Amino acid sequence: MDKRERLDAYLESHDLESVWFARPNSFAWLTGGRNVVDRETEAGVAAIGYDGNDLTLVADNIEADRIVAEELPDLETSDISLERFPWHASSLPEAIAERATTEGRASADISVPGLERVDPTPLRQPLTERDRERYRELGRETAAVVESVCRQVQTDDTELEVASALRVALSAREIEAPVVLVGGAERALQYRHYTPTQATLEDYALVSVTAERAGLHASCTRTVAFDRPEWLADRHTAAARVEVTALAETQAMAATDEAATAGDVFHAIQNAYVAVGYEGEWKNHHQGGAAGFAGREWIAAPGHEAPVVAPMAYAWNPTVQGAKSEDTALVTDDGIESLTTTGTWPTSTVAAVDRDVELERPDILELEE
C-alpha cells in the first residue's frame, strides 16, 4: 500500500475530507523534503494537505517558492495546488483552518482551530520501498561518519570536541543530528544519557548518534577503548545479546499471522537480561523500539500495545551499566538487515538467548593511547 492509499483509508475510516501535515517528520514522510527553518517550533513553515484526490501546499509568501522548487522530491509539483498567504496576515494553523474548513471535516498533525488531531505514527508504518532505499543510504553514511570519528579520538579529547566533530562530519553529508551523546570513562559509567561535557575521554568512550535526513532517523552506538576496563567486555557482550534477542523476537513477531505487540518484544528483552546475568537492568534505561520518521516511532514498555509490523526499521538500545549496544535494522518477514553498518568496524558473532539467531554486532575498538 503506497502513501496515498494509506491516506485514502484513513480519510474513509475517520469520515474526513482532508488531512494536513505540518510537523517536519510528517511533512517529510509525504513529500521527501523539509519544511524546517526554526527547529525549536513544533510546526514547520509549510503544510501539505490531501483530500483524497489532490495535494495542497500551504505556505507564506516568504517560503512558498523555495519549498516548491527545492523541497518536494517525492511529488510532481504540477499535481500540487499552491496556496500562498502573506506572512504578516496569518499564521500557518490559521491558513490551514481557512482552507480545510471549506472542504468539510479535516484533521491535522498540529493544533488547528476546528480540526481534529491526527496521530501520523500509524500512517508512517510500514516503510515503503523508496523509504527503505533511502534508509540504507542514511544508515551507511551515518555509520561511516561515526566510525571515522571514533577511529581518530584520543584520550585527552573532550566529549564536546568529539560531539562537534560528529556534527560537522554529518552536516557535510546533509545529515542532521538531533541526538549526539559522547560519554568518556567516568560519565559513561555514571549516566545512561551521556550528554557531552568538557570531561575528557580517558580509558574508554561510548559514542551514540541519532541522525536524520529526509525525515528518516538512524541510530547507532560505538565503543572505543584505550585502556579497557576489565568489566567492559562482559557488559558489552551482555548488552549485544539482549539487542540480538530483541531483533530476533521482532522479526518472529512481524512474521507471525497473530497480532504481535511491542509488549511481546519487551517481555523477551526482560527475559534476555535475566539470561545474561543482569536481571532488572532494563529498569535503568529505555530499550528502544520502532524507528523511521522519528528517532523512535514508539518506545517499547511492559504491556505496550503498539503493533510490530514489517518491513520496518527498529533500533533497540539495551544498556548494561557503562556499556550499550545499538544499531538500526530493517526487519522484514524474511530476515534482519543491519542498516547502520560499513563492513569495516570489528564485529563479533552474537547469539540471541532464546532463539536460534546469530548476528554480527559491533565489537569494542581498541585504540592506542
Question: One-letter amino acid identity for 293?
Answer: F
pLDDT at residue 102 in the model: 63
pLDDT at 43: 94
Residue 324 has pLDDT above 70, yes or no: yes
Average pLDDT over residues 102-128: 92
Q: Per-residue pLDDT for 179 more than 80?
A: yes
155 and 104 in a single domain? The answer is no
> What is the DSSP code (8-state) at residue 42?
S
Q: What is the per-residue pLDDT across 254-304, written as a single tens digit (0 to 9) for each? A: 998 788 999 999 999 999 999 999 999 999 999 999 999 999 999 999 999
- Calculate the CA dihedral of residues 308, 310, 313, 314 and round it to 10 degrees: 30
| 313 shares a domain with 229 | yes
CB-based contacts of 59, cutoff 8 Å, min separation 6 = 35, 45, 46, 47, 67, 82, 83, 84, 85, 92
Enumerate residues 6+ apart whose C-beta is below 8 A from 102. Answer: none
Task: Specify the CATH number for the domain of residue 48.
Answer: 3.40.350.10
Pairing of strands 347-351, 358-362: antiparallel
Q: Last residue of some domain: 81, 98, 124?
A: 124
Banded pLDDT at 79 (limits 50, 70, 90): confident
Structural domain that includes position 15: 3-124
Instruction: Work out the pLDDT band at 40, boundaries 50, 70, 90.
Output: confident
pLDDT of residue 125 exceeding 70: yes
257 or 307, greater pLDDT: 307
Task: Give the residues across from 49 on adjacent strands.
Answer: 20, 56
Question: In this structure, are 108 and 137 located in the same domain?
Answer: no
Q: Is the pLDDT of residue 96 over 70?
A: yes
Same domain, 190 and 309: yes
Q: Are residues 286 and 319 in the same domain?
A: yes
Q: How many CB atoms within 10 Å of residue 350? A: 22
| Domain identity same for 38 and 107 | yes
Tens digits of per-residue pLDDT, 206-217?
999 999 999 999
Whole-number pLDDT of residue 89: 93
Are 52 and 111 found together in one domain? yes
Q: Is the dihedral of CA 243, 248, 251, 252 positive or negative?
A: negative
Per-residue pLDDT averaged across 93-101, rounded?
92
pLDDT of 367 above 70: yes
Average pLDDT of the chain?
96
Q: What is the mean pLDDT of residues 318-341?
A: 97
Prediction pTM value:
0.96
Q: What is the pLDDT of residue 45?
A: 97
